[in-house]
Amino acid sequence: MKIAVLSGKGGTGKTLVSVNLAAVAGHSTYIDCDVEEPNGHLFFKPDIAREELITVKIPQVDEKQCVGCRSCVRFCNYNALAYVNKKLIIFDDVCHSCGGCVLVCPKSALSERDKPIGKIKIGVSGDVNVYTGVMNTGEATGIPIINRLLEEGSAEEHRLTFIDCPPGSACIVMESIKDADYCVLVAEPTLFGAHNLNMVYELVKLFDKPTGVVLNKCLNEDNPVEQFCLDKSLEILGRIPFDHELASLNSNAEIVVNKKEKYRELFIGLLETIVGRVENGAASHKPNMVHGKVAADDQEGHRMELEQVCDEKVYGKVAADDQKGHNAEQEKKTCGENVFVEPGEFHRELEGACSERDHTSSEREGSAK
Protein backbone atom coordinates (compact mmCIF):
# COMPACT_ATOMS: atom_id res chain seq x y z
CA MET A 1 0.00 0.00 0.00
CA LYS A 2 1.46 3.34 -1.11
CA ILE A 3 0.29 6.59 0.45
CA ALA A 4 1.46 9.88 -1.07
CA VAL A 5 1.50 13.01 1.08
CA LEU A 6 1.25 16.31 -0.82
CA SER A 7 0.90 20.02 -0.18
CA GLY A 8 0.53 23.10 -2.33
CA LYS A 9 3.63 24.78 -0.92
CA GLY A 10 6.56 24.16 1.39
CA GLY A 11 6.11 24.53 5.14
CA THR A 12 2.53 23.31 5.26
CA GLY A 13 3.35 20.21 7.30
CA LYS A 14 3.75 17.56 4.63
CA THR A 15 6.94 16.10 6.10
CA LEU A 16 5.52 16.32 9.64
CA VAL A 17 2.60 14.14 8.57
CA SER A 18 4.52 11.64 6.43
CA VAL A 19 7.39 11.14 8.90
CA ASN A 20 5.13 10.58 11.90
CA LEU A 21 2.76 8.31 9.99
CA ALA A 22 5.73 6.16 8.96
CA ALA A 23 6.95 6.12 12.56
CA VAL A 24 3.65 4.93 14.08
CA ALA A 25 3.10 2.42 11.27
CA GLY A 26 6.01 0.30 12.51
CA HIS A 27 7.45 -1.84 9.72
CA SER A 28 7.12 0.78 7.00
CA THR A 29 8.97 2.49 4.17
CA TYR A 30 9.53 6.23 3.94
CA ILE A 31 10.48 7.68 0.53
CA ASP A 32 11.55 11.33 0.43
CA CYS A 33 10.84 12.47 -3.13
CA ASP A 34 11.46 16.15 -2.34
CA VAL A 35 14.83 15.81 -4.05
CA GLU A 36 15.53 19.55 -4.17
CA GLU A 37 15.34 19.98 -0.39
CA PRO A 38 15.03 16.56 1.32
CA ASN A 39 14.72 16.73 5.10
CA GLY A 40 13.03 13.49 6.16
CA HIS A 41 16.45 12.02 6.96
CA LEU A 42 16.96 14.76 9.56
CA PHE A 43 14.12 13.23 11.57
CA PHE A 44 14.90 9.54 11.09
CA LYS A 45 18.71 9.87 11.16
CA PRO A 46 19.05 6.53 9.34
CA ASP A 47 22.12 4.34 9.16
CA ILE A 48 22.99 4.54 5.47
CA ALA A 49 23.40 1.10 3.92
CA ARG A 50 23.87 2.12 0.30
CA GLU A 51 24.29 5.13 -1.95
CA GLU A 52 23.76 5.20 -5.69
CA LEU A 53 24.82 7.87 -8.18
CA ILE A 54 22.06 8.88 -10.61
CA THR A 55 23.09 9.89 -14.12
CA VAL A 56 21.36 10.84 -17.35
CA LYS A 57 22.51 10.43 -20.95
CA ILE A 58 23.61 13.66 -22.66
CA PRO A 59 24.81 13.89 -26.30
CA GLN A 60 28.32 14.99 -27.16
CA VAL A 61 29.59 15.89 -30.62
CA ASP A 62 32.70 14.87 -32.52
CA GLU A 63 33.34 18.10 -34.43
CA LYS A 64 35.57 16.30 -36.93
CA GLN A 65 32.68 14.07 -37.99
CA CYS A 66 29.92 16.71 -37.91
CA VAL A 67 29.08 18.09 -41.39
CA GLY A 68 26.45 20.58 -40.23
CA CYS A 69 23.46 18.82 -41.79
CA ARG A 70 21.25 19.87 -38.83
CA SER A 71 19.38 16.53 -38.76
CA CYS A 72 19.74 16.42 -34.98
CA VAL A 73 18.58 20.03 -34.61
CA ARG A 74 15.45 19.38 -36.65
CA PHE A 75 14.70 16.19 -34.76
CA CYS A 76 14.87 17.57 -31.20
CA ASN A 77 11.44 18.59 -29.90
CA TYR A 78 12.98 20.45 -26.98
CA ASN A 79 15.45 22.67 -28.88
CA ALA A 80 18.35 21.17 -26.96
CA LEU A 81 20.64 21.52 -29.99
CA ALA A 82 21.50 24.47 -32.20
CA TYR A 83 23.89 24.87 -35.11
CA VAL A 84 25.49 28.34 -34.97
CA ASN A 85 28.56 29.63 -36.82
CA LYS A 86 29.38 26.17 -38.16
CA LYS A 87 29.35 24.69 -34.67
CA LEU A 88 26.84 22.37 -32.98
CA ILE A 89 25.82 23.61 -29.53
CA ILE A 90 24.22 21.26 -26.98
CA PHE A 91 22.12 22.61 -24.10
CA ASP A 92 22.41 20.00 -21.35
CA ASP A 93 19.67 21.46 -19.14
CA VAL A 94 17.07 21.26 -21.91
CA CYS A 95 17.98 17.75 -23.08
CA HIS A 96 15.47 15.01 -22.16
CA SER A 97 17.95 12.16 -22.77
CA CYS A 98 15.83 10.47 -25.44
CA GLY A 99 18.87 9.56 -27.58
CA GLY A 100 17.08 10.42 -30.81
CA CYS A 101 19.72 12.86 -32.03
CA VAL A 102 22.34 10.11 -31.87
CA LEU A 103 20.16 7.81 -33.96
CA VAL A 104 19.36 10.32 -36.72
CA CYS A 105 22.91 11.59 -37.24
CA PRO A 106 23.99 10.29 -40.69
CA LYS A 107 27.70 10.67 -39.88
CA SER A 108 27.64 9.15 -36.36
CA ALA A 109 29.06 12.41 -35.07
CA LEU A 110 27.03 12.23 -31.86
CA SER A 111 27.52 9.88 -28.93
CA GLU A 112 26.23 9.87 -25.35
CA ARG A 113 27.96 10.52 -22.05
CA ASP A 114 26.78 10.04 -18.48
CA LYS A 115 26.01 13.25 -16.61
CA PRO A 116 25.57 12.94 -12.80
CA ILE A 117 22.48 14.80 -11.55
CA GLY A 118 22.26 13.52 -7.97
CA LYS A 119 22.11 10.41 -5.84
CA ILE A 120 19.85 8.28 -3.70
CA LYS A 121 20.56 7.07 -0.18
CA ILE A 122 19.03 3.97 1.35
CA GLY A 123 19.15 3.47 5.09
CA VAL A 124 17.38 2.07 8.14
CA SER A 125 16.01 3.82 11.21
CA GLY A 126 14.50 1.35 13.67
CA ASP A 127 11.64 -0.40 11.86
CA VAL A 128 11.51 2.18 9.07
CA ASN A 129 13.40 1.84 5.79
CA VAL A 130 14.36 5.32 4.62
CA TYR A 131 14.90 6.24 0.95
CA THR A 132 16.23 9.72 0.21
CA GLY A 133 16.88 11.42 -3.11
CA VAL A 134 19.30 14.34 -3.42
CA MET A 135 19.51 16.42 -6.59
CA ASN A 136 22.69 18.31 -7.43
CA THR A 137 22.45 22.09 -7.17
CA GLY A 138 21.54 23.75 -10.45
CA GLU A 139 20.03 20.73 -12.18
CA ALA A 140 16.85 21.36 -14.17
CA THR A 141 14.84 18.32 -13.07
CA GLY A 142 14.94 15.54 -10.51
CA ILE A 143 12.54 13.18 -12.27
CA PRO A 144 15.18 10.47 -12.97
CA ILE A 145 16.08 10.51 -9.26
CA ILE A 146 12.43 10.16 -8.23
CA ASN A 147 11.88 7.33 -10.69
CA ARG A 148 14.85 5.47 -9.25
CA LEU A 149 13.64 6.06 -5.68
CA LEU A 150 10.20 4.67 -6.46
CA GLU A 151 11.72 1.73 -8.34
CA GLU A 152 13.83 0.83 -5.30
CA GLY A 153 10.92 1.34 -2.90
CA SER A 154 8.54 -0.79 -4.97
CA ALA A 155 10.56 -3.86 -4.00
CA GLU A 156 9.02 -3.57 -0.51
CA GLU A 157 5.36 -3.87 -1.43
CA HIS A 158 4.67 -5.91 1.70
CA ARG A 159 5.41 -2.78 3.76
CA LEU A 160 3.22 0.27 4.19
CA THR A 161 4.94 2.94 2.07
CA PHE A 162 4.74 6.69 2.63
CA ILE A 163 5.83 8.97 -0.22
CA ASP A 164 6.85 12.45 0.92
CA CYS A 165 6.20 14.40 -2.29
CA PRO A 166 7.75 17.69 -3.42
CA PRO A 167 5.59 20.76 -2.74
CA GLY A 168 3.42 22.22 -5.49
CA SER A 169 2.00 20.55 -8.58
CA ALA A 170 4.88 20.36 -11.06
CA CYS A 171 6.06 17.36 -13.09
CA ILE A 172 8.13 15.98 -10.21
CA VAL A 173 4.95 15.79 -8.10
CA MET A 174 3.15 13.93 -10.88
CA GLU A 175 5.96 11.37 -11.00
CA SER A 176 5.78 10.95 -7.23
CA ILE A 177 2.06 10.13 -7.08
CA LYS A 178 1.61 8.10 -10.26
CA ASP A 179 1.68 4.73 -8.46
CA ALA A 180 0.12 5.85 -5.16
CA ASP A 181 -2.96 4.06 -3.84
CA TYR A 182 -4.12 7.09 -1.86
CA CYS A 183 -3.22 10.79 -1.66
CA VAL A 184 -3.21 12.79 1.56
CA LEU A 185 -3.38 16.54 0.98
CA VAL A 186 -2.00 18.66 3.82
CA ALA A 187 -3.35 22.21 4.10
CA GLU A 188 -3.22 25.23 6.40
CA PRO A 189 -6.50 26.83 7.56
CA THR A 190 -6.08 30.10 5.65
CA LEU A 191 -7.28 31.61 2.37
CA PHE A 192 -3.81 31.06 0.94
CA GLY A 193 -3.96 27.48 2.22
CA ALA A 194 -7.28 26.96 0.41
CA HIS A 195 -5.74 28.27 -2.82
CA ASN A 196 -2.77 25.90 -2.54
CA LEU A 197 -5.03 23.00 -1.64
CA ASN A 198 -7.10 23.61 -4.76
CA MET A 199 -3.92 23.44 -6.84
CA VAL A 200 -2.91 19.96 -5.65
CA TYR A 201 -6.52 18.79 -5.56
CA GLU A 202 -6.84 19.52 -9.29
CA LEU A 203 -3.66 17.50 -9.85
CA VAL A 204 -4.79 14.37 -7.99
CA LYS A 205 -8.18 14.68 -9.67
CA LEU A 206 -6.46 14.44 -13.07
CA PHE A 207 -4.78 11.23 -11.89
CA ASP A 208 -8.10 10.07 -10.44
CA LYS A 209 -6.60 9.18 -7.08
CA PRO A 210 -8.66 8.59 -3.91
CA THR A 211 -8.00 11.64 -1.75
CA GLY A 212 -8.43 13.03 1.74
CA VAL A 213 -7.32 16.18 3.54
CA VAL A 214 -5.36 16.75 6.75
CA LEU A 215 -5.68 20.22 8.28
CA ASN A 216 -2.54 21.43 10.05
CA LYS A 217 -2.11 24.36 12.48
CA CYS A 218 -5.81 24.43 13.30
CA LEU A 219 -7.31 27.17 15.48
CA ASN A 220 -10.83 27.58 16.83
CA GLU A 221 -11.70 30.06 14.11
CA ASP A 222 -13.45 30.12 10.76
CA ASN A 223 -11.55 27.87 8.40
CA PRO A 224 -11.77 28.59 4.65
CA VAL A 225 -10.17 25.22 3.89
CA GLU A 226 -13.06 23.40 5.59
CA GLN A 227 -15.49 25.27 3.35
CA PHE A 228 -13.41 24.29 0.32
CA CYS A 229 -13.52 20.63 1.37
CA LEU A 230 -17.28 20.90 1.84
CA ASP A 231 -17.74 22.43 -1.61
CA LYS A 232 -15.58 19.74 -3.26
CA SER A 233 -16.95 16.84 -1.15
CA LEU A 234 -13.43 16.18 0.17
CA GLU A 235 -13.15 14.20 3.38
CA ILE A 236 -11.17 15.76 6.23
CA LEU A 237 -9.14 12.85 7.60
CA GLY A 238 -7.84 14.66 10.67
CA ARG A 239 -6.87 17.93 12.29
CA ILE A 240 -3.51 18.81 13.82
CA PRO A 241 -3.82 21.67 16.32
CA PHE A 242 -1.74 24.83 16.34
CA ASP A 243 0.47 23.67 19.21
CA HIS A 244 3.62 25.43 20.41
CA GLU A 245 5.16 22.26 21.87
CA LEU A 246 4.56 20.28 18.69
CA ALA A 247 6.05 23.07 16.59
CA SER A 248 9.11 23.25 18.84
CA LEU A 249 9.75 19.51 18.65
CA ASN A 250 9.24 19.43 14.90
CA SER A 251 11.54 22.41 14.26
CA ASN A 252 14.27 20.53 16.14
CA ALA A 253 13.87 17.51 13.83
CA GLU A 254 12.22 15.36 16.49
CA ILE A 255 9.65 12.71 15.62
CA VAL A 256 6.80 13.96 17.79
CA VAL A 257 5.07 10.57 18.17
CA ASN A 258 8.18 9.34 20.00
CA LYS A 259 8.11 12.27 22.43
CA LYS A 260 4.52 12.69 23.58
CA GLU A 261 1.73 10.14 23.94
CA LYS A 262 -0.93 12.64 22.89
CA TYR A 263 0.79 13.09 19.54
CA ARG A 264 1.19 9.34 19.12
CA GLU A 265 -2.53 8.87 19.67
CA LEU A 266 -3.29 11.65 17.19
CA PHE A 267 -1.21 10.09 14.40
CA ILE A 268 -2.32 6.52 15.18
CA GLY A 269 -5.90 7.68 14.75
CA LEU A 270 -4.99 9.43 11.51
CA LEU A 271 -3.18 6.34 10.20
CA GLU A 272 -6.12 4.07 11.03
CA THR A 273 -8.45 6.42 9.18
CA ILE A 274 -6.24 6.53 6.09
CA VAL A 275 -5.68 2.76 5.96
CA GLY A 276 -9.40 2.22 6.44
CA ARG A 277 -10.18 4.49 3.51
CA VAL A 278 -7.69 2.69 1.29
CA GLU A 279 -8.94 -0.79 2.20
CA ASN A 280 -12.66 -0.09 2.37
CA GLY A 281 -13.09 3.11 0.41
CA ALA A 282 -11.30 1.93 -2.73
CA ALA A 283 -14.35 -0.09 -3.71
CA SER A 284 -16.63 2.95 -3.47
CA HIS A 285 -14.18 5.11 -5.41
CA LYS A 286 -15.29 5.09 -9.03
CA PRO A 287 -12.20 5.63 -11.15
CA ASN A 288 -12.31 7.26 -14.55
CA MET A 289 -9.30 5.21 -15.63
CA VAL A 290 -9.72 1.71 -17.05
CA HIS A 291 -6.48 -0.24 -17.55
CA GLY A 292 -4.49 2.98 -17.92
CA LYS A 293 -6.90 4.56 -20.44
CA VAL A 294 -9.58 7.13 -19.86
CA ALA A 295 -13.05 5.66 -19.68
CA ALA A 296 -15.22 6.17 -22.74
CA ASP A 297 -17.55 8.69 -21.12
CA ASP A 298 -14.60 10.94 -20.25
CA GLN A 299 -12.60 10.38 -23.43
CA GLU A 300 -13.79 13.42 -25.34
CA GLY A 301 -13.23 15.88 -22.49
CA HIS A 302 -9.80 14.42 -21.78
CA ARG A 303 -8.81 14.67 -25.45
CA MET A 304 -9.86 18.32 -25.62
CA GLU A 305 -7.88 19.08 -22.47
CA LEU A 306 -4.74 17.46 -23.88
CA GLU A 307 -5.13 19.34 -27.17
CA GLN A 308 -5.36 22.62 -25.27
CA VAL A 309 -2.09 21.78 -23.52
CA CYS A 310 -0.49 20.97 -26.86
CA ASP A 311 -1.65 24.24 -28.38
CA GLU A 312 -0.02 26.19 -25.57
CA LYS A 313 3.21 24.21 -25.74
CA VAL A 314 3.99 24.47 -29.47
CA TYR A 315 6.14 27.59 -29.79
CA GLY A 316 3.84 29.81 -27.77
CA LYS A 317 0.27 30.95 -28.35
CA VAL A 318 -0.91 32.29 -31.69
CA ALA A 319 -2.64 35.66 -31.88
CA ALA A 320 -6.31 35.50 -30.94
CA ASP A 321 -7.50 36.29 -34.49
CA ASP A 322 -5.58 33.29 -35.84
CA GLN A 323 -6.32 30.89 -32.99
CA LYS A 324 -9.15 29.05 -34.71
CA GLY A 325 -7.10 28.12 -37.75
CA HIS A 326 -4.11 27.22 -35.61
CA ASN A 327 -6.23 24.92 -33.42
CA ALA A 328 -7.51 23.12 -36.51
CA GLU A 329 -3.92 22.40 -37.50
CA GLN A 330 -2.98 21.31 -34.00
CA GLU A 331 -5.87 18.83 -33.77
CA LYS A 332 -3.77 16.64 -36.03
CA LYS A 333 -1.18 16.43 -33.27
CA THR A 334 -1.97 14.99 -29.84
CA CYS A 335 0.18 14.73 -26.76
CA GLY A 336 0.47 11.00 -27.38
CA GLU A 337 2.69 11.81 -30.36
CA ASN A 338 5.79 13.93 -30.77
CA VAL A 339 4.51 17.51 -30.91
CA PHE A 340 6.84 19.39 -33.19
CA VAL A 341 6.55 22.18 -35.72
CA GLU A 342 9.52 23.25 -37.80
CA PRO A 343 10.48 26.79 -36.71
CA GLY A 344 10.58 27.98 -40.31
CA GLU A 345 7.24 26.39 -41.14
CA PHE A 346 5.61 27.88 -38.06
CA HIS A 347 6.85 31.38 -38.80
CA ARG A 348 5.71 31.12 -42.43
CA GLU A 349 2.24 30.08 -41.26
CA LEU A 350 2.11 32.90 -38.75
CA GLU A 351 3.37 35.51 -41.23
CA GLY A 352 0.85 34.32 -43.83
CA ALA A 353 -2.02 34.52 -41.37
CA CYS A 354 -0.96 37.99 -40.22
CA SER A 355 -0.62 39.20 -43.83
CA GLU A 356 -4.09 37.91 -44.65
CA ARG A 357 -5.49 39.63 -41.58
CA ASP A 358 -3.77 42.93 -42.47
CA HIS A 359 -5.06 42.68 -46.06
CA THR A 360 -8.62 42.11 -44.81
CA SER A 361 -8.31 45.07 -42.44
CA SER A 362 -7.12 47.31 -45.30
CA GLU A 363 -10.08 46.29 -47.46
CA ARG A 364 -12.46 47.09 -44.63
CA GLU A 365 -10.88 50.51 -44.12
CA GLY A 366 -11.13 51.23 -47.87
CA SER A 367 -14.81 50.26 -47.93
CA ALA A 368 -15.48 52.47 -44.92
CA LYS A 369 -13.91 55.44 -46.71
Same domain, 259 and 313: no
- If you average pLDDT over residues 245-274, what whole number do you get? 93
pLDDT of 46 over the 70 cut = yes
CATH of residue 211: 3.40.50.300
User: Could you tell me the pLDDT band of residue 300, with boundaries at 50, 70 and 90?
Assistant: very low
Q: Is 36 found in the same domain as 143?
A: yes
Whether residue 291 lies inside any domain: the answer is no
Within-domain flag for 292: no
Same domain, 40 and 140: yes
Q: Are residues 40 and 136 in the same domain?
A: yes
Last residue within a domain, chosen from 281, 309, 333: 281
In terms of residue numbers, what domain contains 244?
Answer: 2-55+117-281
Q: Are residues 88 and 146 in the same domain?
A: no
How does residue 352 score in pLDDT terms, banded at 50, 70 and 90? low
For residues 119 and 230, give the distance between their C-alpha atoms in angstroms, rounded to a whole number: 41
Q: What percent of the chain lies above the pLDDT cut of 90? A: 62
Residues 182, 37 share a domain: yes
Q: How many domains does the chain have?
A: 3
Same domain? 200 vs 131: yes
pLDDT digit string (tens) for 74-116?
A: 999 999 999 999 999 999 999 999 999 999 999 999 999 999 9
- pLDDT value, residue 349: 46
Amino acid letter at 298? D
pTM for the predicted model, two decimal places: 0.73
Average pLDDT in the chain: 81
**How does pLDDT run across 127-185, given as a tens digit for each residue?**
999 999 999 998 988 999 999 999 998 887 788 999 999 999 999 999 999 999 999 99
Last residue of a domain, one of 45, 76, 108: 108
pLDDT category of residue 356 using cuts at 50, 70 and 90: low
